[in-house]
Amino acid sequence: MLLAFHKPFGVLSQFTPDGSKNRTLAEFGFPKAVYPVGRLDADSEGLLLLSDEPEWNARLLTPGHHVEKTYLVLVEREPGQHALHLLRSGIVLDGKTTLPAKARLLDPQPEFPPREPPVRFRKNVRDFWIEIRLVEGRNRQVRRMTAAVGHPTLRIIRTAIGNLSLANLPAGKWRLLAVEGCRTNFFMHFEFRLFLCSRDIL
């Protein structure tokens, strides 16, 4: 079983509380025995996968597989070409340069439902959405990368893992991916075509 969940802001990527005010996955009615495949910070939103099958962890999280993850990131001020180039070529974090990434300013700028609580607003500072695609997942990597080039992150929405897209799944809802019949294609070609075989649980 493989599930796609649109994790809201303020929700932990775990079923047990950690002593903070953040909510847990236990509130969203998941089937028994599933657990998160990877994680998404409590203050980030978007696609989180859950499964009851260990092979998904191996396929999706093994560093050598370089599965691309796509993030839409709201940052302070418009990043110029130099900042985008730095994001693409690598940023030194904890003494080690990040792997090459993809980064671009979104045009047109997307619109998303307001976040609760709202994103910090500064009257004299415009915010811009950029897209960043990474093949690694260091601790709070996106935030640290944008801060390093002078554009602090205000909001993050993960929209895809490989070719598996969040699509139009509403925040707080999950979708059961019908992996039977798609599994062979995934393991033979290591491509994410599972969304074509999914049904909604909304």
Q: Pairing mode, if any, of strands 174-177 and 198-201? A: antiparallel
How far is residue 91's CA from residue 26's CA, in Å, rounded to a whole number? 36
How far is residue 148's CA from residue 87's CA, in Å, rounded to a whole number? 9
Q: Do 63 and 150 meet the contact criterion of CB atoms below 8 Å apart?
A: no
The structure tokens listed for 33 are 């025995």
| CA angle in degrees (0–180, nearest 5) for 146-22-54 | 80
Active site members: 41
Q: Spell out the residues 6+ positions from residue 60 whose beta carbon is closer than 8 angstroms to its own.
A: 37, 38, 49, 67, 161, 162
How far is residue 16's CA from residue 24's CA, in Å, rounded to a whole number? 6
The DSSP annotation for 103-119 comes to EEE-SSPP--PPPSSPP
The structure tokens listed for 83 are 């900042």
